Amino acid sequence: MATLAFDVYGTLINTDAVVSQLREWMGSQAEVFSQTWRSKQLEYSFRRGLMRRYETFAVCTRQALDYCCAEYDVSFSAEQKDALLQSYRGLPAFADAEESLVALKAEGHRLFAFSNGTSEAVEEVLRASGLRERFEAVVSCDALETFKPNPDVYRYFMKEAGDSNDAWLISGNPFDVIGAVSAGMKAAWVQRSDRAVFDPWGIEPTATVKGLNELGEKIASQR
């Protein structure tokens, strides 16, 4: 059976859930604010990785929030900012996550959570969403003080998992999928929206699924 590395934020855990809180405070701007926050969060992790100026993913998230407040001219109080940042530690899972993980584990696959977030943060959000017990372990890029898609982190995962013969990354983020394939893993892109576009780099996912419930069949078809 395969060894499956699940990206956490945006793949298992729905980062868009912060929109409901934002909507209470800023109305119609909430969705675009949330999208920019997520985009900047990732951008800051990329830039820090390239510059070798490491700070944790939580720091990237906080600084991205500060950027968005300036960009959209929003004056959140310190308490409101703390509430938004704390919400990242209790975000809900996507509706298909629990059932799909149970099915994959029943098929004999080894399941790992693999994230840019610190082990502590990932453990907390997985416990809050009820998913932690489905995973054999959490593997965090924080151990290397860098971020995806640095090829070192995918090699680190395979070393930690102890099985690189049939190792898959499962992610809703195209950059993550491309990084994993480039490092020698197989990868499934979770394309939850028909509007989501995969980067045209000539490096394709091993499989594409619309939801996590399609993974078992897709993985089996690659054998």
Count of helix runs (H) and strand runs (E) in the chain? 9, 6
> Which structure tokens are listed for 24?
């209470």
- Phi-psi label, residue 66: left if phi above 0, alpha if psi -120 to 50, beta otherwise: alpha
Q: Are 69 and 76 in contact (CB under 8 A)?
A: yes
Strand, helix or coil for residue 111: strand
> 88 — phi, psi (to 5°)?
-65, -20
Which helix (H) or strand (E) segment holds residue 115: the answer is strand 110-115
Question: Across the strands, what pairs with 189?
Answer: 171, 208
Q: Which two tokens stand for residue 10?
A: 């945006």
Q: Are 38 and 10 in contact (CB under 8 A)?
A: yes
d(CA 49, CA 24): 34
* Helix or strand (DSSP H, E) at 208: strand 207-209
* Residues annotated as catalytic (active site), given as ranges: 7
Q: Residue 169: beta bridge partners?
A: 5, 187
